[in-house]
Amino acid sequence: MTMVVAILQARPGQEDVLEAALREVAERSREEQGAVAYTVGRQEGGRFLVSERYADRAACDAHFAASYVTGLLARFPELLAGEPQVEFTDVVTGFVR
């Protein structure tokens, strides 16, 4: 299983726009084969934490190649205050209910 963890800092005034875009990607990701979980958290100050799980790296790669994901990534310069922090890892333990 592959996990992706991202930290995104919204540009001031873009917090709600970024949240809406992340909600849309999360909803569309439900239909992806191999997508196991997609969670978005919002903190004070416009900081977002995104946690994603995929059955394998191929499913993760397919997610990042989807047009709605590449579209969001292309909007990051207008939505984010800086570069996103993104980590990819293999899951060694955990559960999803």
User: Nearest 5 degrees, angle CA 26-CA 63-CA 43?
Assistant: 35
Structural domains in the chain plus CATH codes: 2-90 (3.30.70.100)
- And the tokens for 51? 């946690």
Which amino acid type is present at position 31? E
54 neighbors 1 (Cβ within 8 angstroms): yes
pLDDT in tens, the chain (97 residues): 999 999 999 999 999 999 999 999 999 999 999 999 999 999 999 999 999 999 999 999 999 999 999 999 999 999 999 999 999 999 999 877 7
SS3 33: coil
CA–CA distance from 93 to each of 20, 39, 87, 90 (Å)?
30, 17, 17, 9
Q: Which helix (H) or strand (E) holds 37?
A: strand 35-43
